[in-house]
A and B are shown apart, each in its own frame.
Chain A
Amino acid sequence: MVPEAEFDSYYGRPIIKEPPWKGDIAFYLFAGGMAGASAVLAEGAALRGLPALERSARLAAAGGAAAGTVALVHDLGRPERFLNMLRVLRPTSPMSMGSFILAPFSGLATAAVGSNLTGRFPRLGRLAGLGAAAFGPPLATYTAALVADTAVPAWHEGHRELPFIFAGSGATAAGGLAMLFTPAAQNGPARRMAIGGAAMEVASAELLQRRLGLVAEPYQQGRPGTLMKAARAMTATAAAVSLVGGRNRVVSAAAGATYVAASLLTRFGIFEAGKASARDPKYTVQPQRERLAGQPAGRL
């Protein structure tokens, strides 16, 4: 690969190393967001007396956390040592903090859905649900700090917007999944959460791409670019459809499924964009050179 004229490189080789994570982690970003927001939806449904919405949201919260945990353990280099994640609590490590968010959330969400399905221990079940709802927003957003707290240019430079993209995407997925499985009579809040999430996600993603300059390129080109554009189109379509025909069960379900798929594509798009930005040395060198040029003596 011939290095570009504007900067030097060592035979065009990457400077930093891309994360060794595979699709498991991109899926977890989706599942954690969806589960966290679902727990909030479930609590609201319980408080407002919407049992069908409550049940599907509780299942989504517990199921999402479980599937996400399986994906995380599978991605480890030494999966049998997964419990070492709880060995220390390290505030400088979003992954450490996240382990101590995911673990209690999973336990509480599972207890809540268990109680909901069996009808046993209803008060404890509601308490567990409340606990899960408290851990829900942290679960849906800490992963933004996780990917941003690296040297990966596309992620690190986006650390202000990514939490809002993740929150919005989680809300869209949670609302969408509930729209898929809840009768129209009770899915109003799910539709509203999905639309709110869509607005937050699209606005934040737009802000990210404008602010990042050169480092926004990985989000716009190649496979990541395709994924991001498709996700945005699907989110917008689902929002429009649900605004118009949301009361109809079939339309609502179709919109819901589209929301969920869009959220998944967004996570994979962001994941792939990060890896692409790590591979090309220009995304590391050029911003750093610009930063140095802004300083009086160009310190090394």
Chain B
Amino acid sequence: MGSLWGRLDDVAGDAGYGHQPGDHPPRMGFFTDTSVCIGCKACEVACKEWNHVPDDGYALTGMSYDNTQSLGASTWRHVAFVEKPLTTTDLGLPGMGPPGFDGYESGMPTGDEGADQGTPSGEEGVRWLMSSDVCKHCTHAACLDVCPTGSLFRTEFGTVVVQEDICNGCGYCVPACPYGVIEIRPEDGRAFKCTLCYDRLKEGQTPACAQACPTESIQFGEVSELQQRADQRLAELHEQGVDVARLYGRDPGDGVGGDGAFFLLLDEPEVYGLPPDPVVTTRDLGSMWRHVGVAAAALAAMGVASFLGGKK
């Protein structure tokens, strides 16, 4: 059956594609470097275009530039926007002014590093957090574990995909996902989510969102290589004094075994709407079944005991 929890190096192999070299392609995924995201939403548009994802409402939310609101059945890339006010106490957070502006003493680089996303407005300023969220294609994917029809499956690339001709819309995957990604499409009845452009991967192409991203915030490639790139980028940012930068979903020892699509964030995960410490629900399944077993036995015993001691 394979492992359900903990570090897992060969995801596709564990899913049955074979453990020998060449049995399956390397694991593919995304590294989304939010420090260079410009919030253009080309990723959202490209994804919808390529996958024929229907519209899911035109709302004006007042959530900064985010009118998409969240990932869902008909939103597979979602750009989050947070305008964090810069206080006059300089905490050394990234800030930027017009070229040549050096009003902040923290020595932040200006220009095309992209690490600084603050802009002065009035006496203080605003630090922009922009991130293109996507299905994480977890190493240990709860949606996949709980799917009762076998519709959700692990591809040879290590990604997680829904087979739309099998899904009967039971909706179990929806509350199982620790990131709140997958959803039932209301008029359709089935569950939908990012496929990591499985059709494009099979042709050796790049997923639509990564292809469209103008700043290469969304980087596509082999997960092992992306992890190295991410580690380098993090070290670079830390060297520049951007201490808030951190990687999210990179660690194969985390609660979901690391993500096929992981991130570089410039604040706490919950600021972006991400869980701080996601754990695949399947981790506790053994304990759940044990407790069910004992409770079932207790019910049977109670049944027997009810008949002891006479008919009345």
Contact = CB atoms under 8 A, between A and B. Distances in A.
Contact of A76 (B4, B142, B169, B297): B169
B146 A196 contact: no
- Tell me what chain A mostly uses at the interface: helix, strand, loop, or mixed: helix
Contact of A15 (B167, B170, B273, B303): B273
A17 interface: yes
A183 to B, nearest CB: 11
Nearest to A193: B306
A137 B169 contact: no
Interface in A160-176: 160, 162-164, 166-167, 170-171, 175
B247 A76 contact: no
A236 to B, nearest CB: 18
Interface stretch (B21-29, B89-97, B112-120, B179-187): B179-187
Interface residues of B, number: 83
B302 A197 contact: yes
Contact of A11 (B63, B149, B282): B63
Given A92-B4, A94-B146, A78 B251 contact: no
B171 interface: yes
Contact of B281 (A47, A141, A150, A170): A150
B274 interface: yes
Contacts of A214: none
Contact of B296 (A16, A19, A137, A189): A137
Interface string B279-304: 00110110111011011111110111
Interface stretch (A60-68, A119-127, A151-159, A216-224): A151-159
A138 B295 CA distance: 9
Contacts, number: 274
Interface string A84-100: 11011011111110010
Interface string B141-166: 01001111111000000000000001
A299 B160 CA distance: 25
Interface stretch (B47-55, B207-215, B263-271): B263-271
Interface in A179-223: 184-186, 188-190, 192-193, 196-197, 200
Contacts of B178: 16, 151
B248 A300 contact: yes
Interface string B40-72: 000000000000000000000101000001101
Given A10-B270, A192-B305, A167 B298 contact: yes
Given A13-B273, A196-B302, A88 B284 contact: no
B246 interface: yes
Contacts of A197: 302
5 contacts: A15-B270, A43-B303, A48-B311, A77-B167, A144-B295
* CB-based closest 4 A-B pairs: A77-B169, A77-B189, A10-B273, A163-B295
